[in-house]
Structure 1
Amino acid sequence: MDDIQTIKRVKTFVLPDKCFEKRVACAWRRGNKFSVYPRSQKPNKTTSESSVKTDDKILVISQEIGLFSPILRRLVNEANGTFLSVRKVSETSKNSDNQVEFLKLSRQYRSIIRVCIESLQEAGEKEEDGVTRNDLLSYITIFYSIECIWHLCEILFIDIIPGDVVLPFLLEWVRFHFPRHEQTAAQLLESCERGSEDHPDYWDTVVGMVVQGRVDVARALLKLHSAVDSNEFKLVDNSLRSMPVYSVYGGISTGEFTISWKHWQAECRSKLNSRLLGQQPQLELVMRIMTGEYSAFESIRGKYTSWFDVLGGWLLFTAPWARRHELGSAAAACAGLAAPARSHLDAMVRAALDGDLYQVIHEIQQITDNGWFATHLTDILYQCGKLQILDKHQTDVTCRLRNSLVLEYGSLLLEHRSLWAAGLSYLATCAPEGPRRAELLLERMPIHTEAKAMRVAAEAKKHGLLGVVQAVCAVQSARALWRGAAGAALAWGARARSAAQCGRAAHRALREYCAGRALPAADLLLTAGASLLIDNTLLLLGKYCDFHRLYKSREYKKAAKLLVSLITSNIAPDYFWPTLLLDTLPLLETEEPVLSSDDSYEIMLCLELRADCLDREKADLLRLALARNLARTALQDVEDD
């Protein structure tokens, strides 16, 4: 049976080109994409290789992600902030006060949904294309259902209800999400005209207000009837006025309220049985509803689109003291008023009222919102300790369920070019699998600009993904080196802490300097500090930049000392020795000697060992300068003695 259901969900694609009539292969790409391509045929003697490849095409098939549409990205980004706030509250607050914070954050989620619905409505009104408008309307329907179920779950599982008497909150839920006669009642009360019963929806509105528990509005509407002064209307008005209303702060216990309620309902039933309302069938219907008569609710069920509209009224007039765990029977009674609905909304409401969170999550996963609803509702229920899911072996799988939803949602966001950072924050909350998955996905993320590379590296570092930081920086260093930007290559190599990349970039910089170009990234190298120790060539480049800085600032003795240390360290590559040796010439010709006799002997030794790196004329010129400097330093040594 499961196999049959799976087969029904398979979507068939008609491949649009004749080349796919050959042998077809498929390969998964990054994210929810896969490629379909015809397998290449080996050319035979009569068919050239070029003609075989001419007709081949690659077809990329990807899942349509509604959350990636511009109008829904705001929902994703704002929900991400609330998600992180929920995480922070769960980590920092471990007392009873956190339930209040969770309730605030749940309402924040709902306000985000409401803003999204308003944006969709505005866009739908402006949209001229019929297909796009239909898509927007479908999203409006989806998010209306999401907000409705979220509100119900907030009442049943997150809110702190004094005495656990849920009726006032359930009536508020019905009034807010199913305002069947709200507008008509407002119009009738605004006109305030006697004889309003001539309005075609007058009695439906009166009954609707009673069913929603809005007794004061119902009484005000009855006073607009032309026969309001008759005994029948006074009788019903008196019954409505005297109806007991339970309040946890009312000063009476549940038992006392139950006795008072049953006494009031018995009086209503006796008035109904006295046949005093026989001449007013609509008033009789109102009284039958007040006595909780099942057939009365059956008679009005057809005037509503769903059984949710009458749920609050049924509970109000049958069990106003009901606790949360007693709502399942009320839902079953209301759902049985008509043929059972087959919508996801119906199934979700039934499951929520039954307290079956596993079924609630199962149903909301069928909503085509790409997992946004299931992920965030499951997470907040998990963080506030109200989620407990057991498998068929009665093993607690709550954490695994929550993590699987968050991982899938985070991985989905990582596919988007601008939402990937939000996706990373979701994966980071599901250790150890989340960081591992984030590392794999980030390493495969296409990076086309240095700005994005910087951001990827920063986000990866924030979440402790140092391997990703090194990989991104190493790739950027190689790219910069390939396009001839040695300075950028040095900067990226230093961030990656890669000796190989830094060495290659430093060699490129030194070769370019030997060819007559300026030293790259001098400011970076002067402040690199211990990072220069990654590679000898990088160290040479950094110290050589420091030598130029000292020379330009006329600190000749410090410059000379640094240059001699570079020459005697033997870390310079062969192609750079001519530059180092010739840089001693200006220092040998200064008015006051800055190179000692020992320094001159060291330079002479290096010159003789590497005489082939300079042409004869330059070598003789350097020898002459060294001899003159030795003579000056010798005379200076004699005078000092």
Structure 2
Amino acid sequence: MTTSKHLNLVPPVVEADHVEELVQSGRTTAACFSPYNKSLAVFLPPNPGSQLQGGSGEQDIYFASSEAQPSSERRLFISDTSIIFAAFQNFLRVSSTPENEWSQRDDSVRTIRKLATDYVNFTKECWIHASQATKENQSSLQFTGDHYRTLYTCLSLFVVLYVPDSGLEDAPVGDELMEWLNMHFIEPSTEEGDHLSSLEKPWEDETFWPYLLRATMRGLVKAATFFLEALSRHPSNYLRRLSSQLIPLLSDQPHLQNFAAERDFAHASRRWREKVKAMRVELTNVPESDRRDEYENWWDRLSSIVGILEGRTEVIEKVCDELGADWKELSVAWGVFADFRLRRQDLPDVVAQIVDDVPPDPTDMEDMVHASLFGGDPMKALSYASQLDPWLAAHMADIMQSLGLIDREPVEDTGLTVRDSYMLAYAEYLHSDAALWRLTAAYMFSCGEVGVQCADEVLLRVPLRLGVPQQSAGEDVTGVLTDTLRDVNAICFEYQREEVRRSVCKIAAQELMQKKEYGLAISYCSSAEDWPGLGRVVDRVLDEYIISGPENFTKYVSGIAPSLQVLNTASAAQGVFIYRLMFAVRYAEFHQRMSCQDLQEAAWDLVSIFQEETAPKSWWGVLLLDALGLLEHKAALLFSYPSACLLLRRLEEVFTRSQHGSGDDYLRMLNRKAHSTPEAALNQLQAVRLALARYFARCTMIGTGGKQFMGRRSEIPA
């Protein structure tokens, strides 16, 4: 997997044969990065020395990305393996063992091996799944089965060489490598074996001896002995006898896993080698004249097989060259036959000699990863792995650091460790898909202070998409509305990013306010302790009264009223903003009672708003104008005498302050409501002054007492 150095836009911004015209015009291409993923907006800006003449000035914009967004099958792979990554990070967090001592603790190494093996098994499943896809489905896969096979081979080799089972760290590694080689790079092929087994005289086929040589060198005992038994029908008495003697030698070759102690394995191997030497003597005694049949010099071929078992390096190299085997096969055969006690720490020296003569393929990143792992160079392996797939480099580096295979100290220039560099590169790849922001942040948060800062920026730019969906009757949309936001909050709590959480809540509150979800907006302002923001939300709710009248205003206030009780108990809440919310709720109650013709209660509400000083002074003009209809009510006197006096004092303050240059402080909302000037607003309030004069006259005529002034509330004039 490699990232192209070029972005091909379709259709192109400039046709290939018009590039010179673009250069001569003085214009050039420009691009802007997206704030929340790795996409680019590419466009041709106008020539700075000229002005657009006429037209709409519209400009074509091309969207491109340096990374292909993960497809559905790739997303599944990323998401499922992230579970293993999360388990690994949790193990690192809760482990009581210091990081630099993990490689010395058997229990820690067992856990790391188990999780590393989980990666191996999962890549194997993905390889099988992708390989079994139908031709139609194959075309829709972003990565072929062969890509996941390469991940599987690289990870499994890494586990074999660097995360061995407990107690096998210093044990011979040849048999394990042979098992790995036979599992991933099958030779000889099954088709060859089926073809030869169908022949009555398979030795007459030109592929017989190459097949037998390779089966021997690969340790495929059953296949090798099957065709050695077929030689029992060969015309040569010598070959029949020698092949029958060779069969038990192949079957009895000692393997480390069959012994409780390495010492016993070494002793058995030496005794077995003595038997091979005896076989060499038997082979040497065959007369020159009897060493060929009609098709082949069978003696040379059998001698090569015995030479492999003897561990003669020149024979192993010659056979590998004849068979076209690569450096891997030669290295593994060396560890099984030439030096059966070859250990992991000694393998790089052997491989260094081999690759001088049989180098890996520099154009094949899989082969280069294998060569680096065989050669004991984890840093180089990570470099090649990153070109193969950033996923592979990130997760290998994660395990390597835990085992002390790469430096844990940050690089001075970047402030990042080797592991963090590859992990952030993978996180940037995930960032190409905005839907994977949760995983992007999780990987970034594991990368020290630099990664934390990157994750913060990702969380701040997550598209919240707070639009209200279509709902059926009685359906609650709150859960749908805030799922993403709740996830962001949860991640911030998990990683203790309180400042980021508050910032995201502020952003959400602003979006919700624009969508007139005022109740939710206030909740998120409160969660962010953004009291000025809460005040702005309340102001927007109050604006609804000015813009669309009391009915809509009352409806919107019903959504924010529950927040008032919660905020009243919050010690951190700032009083000035709570009073503004309280005013909105009380004022909505006033209009609710007016609409229900509960005029007495409405009058008490209006007076109490002034008494408790919850109303901002900019609203006094509106409130006094609301009192006009109640003052002129013919059926009853709705205000007590002290209440009427309170209204008069507030009215006189509005007039006095307005005449001394503070009219905007007292009349701003009335001006907006009536679309009038301060002078016109004062003229409107003159009607309230006249109504109060008449009201006092009525009070004088009937006296200041009487049941019409009695009520459930005690009114104390301010």
The interval holding the TM-score normalised by the smaller chain is 0.7 to 0.9
Assess if the C-alpha contact under 8 Å between 1:246 and 1:321 holds in 2.
Answer: no
Deviation digits for residues 292-338 of structure 1 (CA, Å, limit 9, x no counterpart): 23343323434346332343333211112211011124324544564
> Does 2:73 correspond to 1:71?
yes
Q: Give the whole-Å Cα distance in 2 for the aligned partners of 1:185 and 1:521.
A: 82
For the residue of structure 2 that corresponds to 1:97, the secondary structure is helix
Question: Aligned letter for 2:531?
Answer: A
> Does 2:305 correspond to 1:286?
yes
State the TM-score, normalized to the length of structure 2.
0.71
State the TM-score, normalized to the length of structure 1.
0.79
> Does 2:349 correspond to 1:313?
no
* Deviation, structure 1 residue 496: 4.0
Which of residues 627, 631, 634 in structure 1 aligns to 2:706? 631
Q: Residue 677 of structure 2 aligns with which residue?
A: none
> Does 2:350 correspond to 1:330?
yes
Question: Aligned letter for 1:267?
Answer: A
Q: Residue 106 of structure 1 aligns with which residue?
A: 116
Assess if the C-alpha contact under 8 Å between 1:211 and 1:314 holds in 2.
Answer: no
Q: Give the whole-Å Cα distance in 1 for the aligned partners of 2:512 and 2:621.
A: 27
* Deviation, structure 1 residue 105: 1.4
Q: Residue 186 of structure 2 aligns with which residue?
A: 179
* Deviation, structure 1 residue 566: 3.7
Q: Give the whole-Å Cα distance in 2 for the aligned partners of 1:556 and 1:248.
A: 98
> Does 2:284 correspond to 1:273?
yes
Assess if the C-alpha contact under 8 Å between 2:460 and 2:500 holds in 1.
Answer: yes
Q: Residue 454 of structure 1 aligns with which residue?
A: 485
Q: Residue 218 of structure 2 aligns with which residue?
A: 212
TM alignment of 1:81-480, pairs within 5 A? 81-93=83-95, 94=97, 96-123=106-133, 125-126=135-136, 136=143, 139-160=144-165, 162-163=167-168, 164-165=170-171, 166-181=173-188, 183-184=190-191, 187=194, 195-197=201-203, 201-227=207-233, 230-247=240-257, 249-251=259-261, 253=263, 256-257=267-268, 259-275=270-286, 278-279=291-292, 280-281=298-299, 282-297=301-316, 298-304=318-324, 306-335=326-355, 338=358, 341-342=361-362, 343-367=364-388, 369=389, 371-388=390-407, 400-450=417-467, 451=481, 454=485, 457-458=488-489, 461-462=492-493, 463-480=495-512
Q: Give the whole-Å Cα distance in 2 for the aligned partners of 1:256 and 1:187.
A: 37
Which of residues 610, 613, 617 in structure 2 aligns to 1:570? 613
- Taking a change above 3 Å as real, the CA distance of residues 460 and 537 of structure 1, as seen in their structure-2 partners, is farther
Q: Give the whole-Å Cα distance in 1 for the aligned partners of 2:282 and 2:117.
A: 44
Q: Give the whole-Å Cα distance in 2 for the aligned partners of 1:10 and 1:634.
A: 85
- Taking a change above 3 Å as real, the CA distance of residues 458 and 355 of structure 1, as seen in their structure-2 partners, is same
Q: Residue 3 of structure 1 aligns with which residue?
A: none
Task: Choose 139-148 or 571-580, whichever is displaced more.
Answer: 571-580
For the residue of structure 2 that corresponds to 1:412, the secondary structure is helix
* Deviation, structure 1 residue 178: 0.6
The structure with the largest alpha-carbon Rg is: 2
- Taking a change above 3 Å as real, the CA distance of residues 287 and 242 of structure 1, as seen in their structure-2 partners, is same
* Deviation, structure 1 residue 437: 1.7
* Deviation, structure 1 residue 153: 0.9
Q: Residue 65 of structure 2 aligns with which residue?
A: 62
Assess if the C-alpha contact under 8 Å between 1:86 and 1:105 holds in 2.
Answer: yes
Question: Aligned letter for 1:49?
Answer: L
Deviation digits for residues 491-546 of structure 1 (CA, Å, limit 9, x no counterpart): 45444433333222212222424612233253553145453644132243356668
- Taking a change above 3 Å as real, the CA distance of residues 413 and 397 of structure 1, as seen in their structure-2 partners, is closer
Question: Aligned letter for 2:52?
Answer: E
Q: Give the whole-Å Cα distance in 1 for the aligned partners of 2:56 and 2:627.
A: 60
Q: Give the whole-Å Cα distance in 1 for the aligned partners of 2:94 and 2:353.
A: 43
Question: Aligned letter for 1:260?
Answer: R
Question: Aligned letter for 2:556?
Answer: P
* Deviation, structure 1 residue 375: 0.8
* Deviation, structure 1 residue 446: 5.0
Q: Give the whole-Å Cα distance in 1 for the aligned partners of 2:502 and 2:711.
A: 54
Root-mean-square deviation (CA, aligned residues, Å) is 4.7
- Taking a change above 3 Å as real, the CA distance of residues 390 and 481 of structure 1, as seen in their structure-2 partners, is closer
Q: How high is the sequence identity, in percent, across the aligned residues?
A: 17
Q: Give the whole-Å Cα distance in 2 for the aligned partners of 1:384 and 1:559.
A: 75
Task: Choose 510-519 or 484-493, whichever is displaced more.
Answer: 484-493
Q: Give the whole-Å Cα distance in 2 for the aligned partners of 1:552 and 1:499.
A: 32
Q: Residue 33 of structure 1 aligns with which residue?
A: 40
For the residue of structure 1 that corresponds to 2:556, the secondary structure is coil
For the residue of structure 2 that corresponds to 1:35, the secondary structure is strand
- Taking a change above 3 Å as real, the CA distance of residues 526 and 90 of structure 1, as seen in their structure-2 partners, is same
* Deviation, structure 1 residue 112: 2.6
Deviation digits for residues 72-121 of structure 1 (CA, Å, limit 9, x no counterpart): 11121112221111111112233532322211211221233223333433
Q: Residue 4 of structure 1 aligns with which residue?
A: none
* Deviation, structure 1 residue 379: 0.7
Q: Residue 509 of structure 1 aligns with which residue?
A: 541
Question: Aligned letter for 1:29?
Answer: F
* Deviation, structure 1 residue 176: 0.8
TM alignment of 1:584-623, pairs within 5 A? 606=650, 615-616=687-688
Question: Aligned letter for 2:228?
Answer: L
- Taking a change above 3 Å as real, the CA distance of residues 522 and 243 of structure 1, as seen in their structure-2 partners, is same
For the residue of structure 1 that corresponds to 2:106, the secondary structure is coil
Question: Aligned letter for 1:458?
Answer: N
Ranges in structure 1 where 5+ consecutive residues have no aligned partner? 1-8
Aligned residues: 612
Q: Give the whole-Å Cα distance in 1 for the aligned partners of 2:602 and 2:7.
A: 75
Q: Give the whole-Å Cα distance in 2 for the aligned partners of 1:361 and 1:63.
A: 21
* Deviation, structure 1 residue 387: 3.0
Q: Give the whole-Å Cα distance in 2 for the aligned partners of 1:258 and 1:307.
A: 25
Assess if the C-alpha contact under 8 Å between 1:547 and 1:559 holds in 2.
Answer: yes
